[in-house]
Amino acid sequence: MSTPDDKQPSLPTPPPRPKPPKKGLAAAYDFLMQSYCWFAIFFLLYVLSAGPLFAPWQRAVETGTNPLLQIFYMPLSAMCEQSDTLKTVLDWYVGLWS
């Protein structure tokens, strides 16, 4: 006679099946969202890198040396010339590094 405390051996559960790849608009939407996220991350890192590299960047602009550094931060400089808000925020952030 079996009691409720007796446990029957259970069979192992199979691993879950992988989801089929998305097709059509769902795949395009996923690709665009991933691309947008990667672009946002790289842009944020680009802007944040200006803080610790501001002194070498400024020296490169003033002396005309290191054209690679000048070219790399030229878009950020142009954006700061167009946006007073960005310039204020970036000035504050660069001030944290000095």
Is 19 part of any domain? no
- Amino acid 32: pLDDT: 93
Is 51 part of any domain? yes
- Amino acid 92: pLDDT: 94
pLDDT tens across 67-83, in order?
999 999 999 999 999 99
Burial readout 28-45 (b: 16 or more C-beta within 10 A, e: otherwise): eeeeeeeeeeeeeeeeee
Look at the chain and report how many structural domains it folds into.
1
Average the pLDDT over 37-51 and give the result: 94
- Amino acid 6: pLDDT: 61
Is 81 part of any domain? yes
Answer whether residue 62 shows pLDDT above 60: yes
Share of residues in the chain with pLDDT > 90 (%): 65
Is 22 part of any domain? no
Is 50 part of any domain? yes
pTM for the whole structure: 0.65
CA distance 88 to 25: 41
Average the pLDDT over 37-48 and give the result: 94
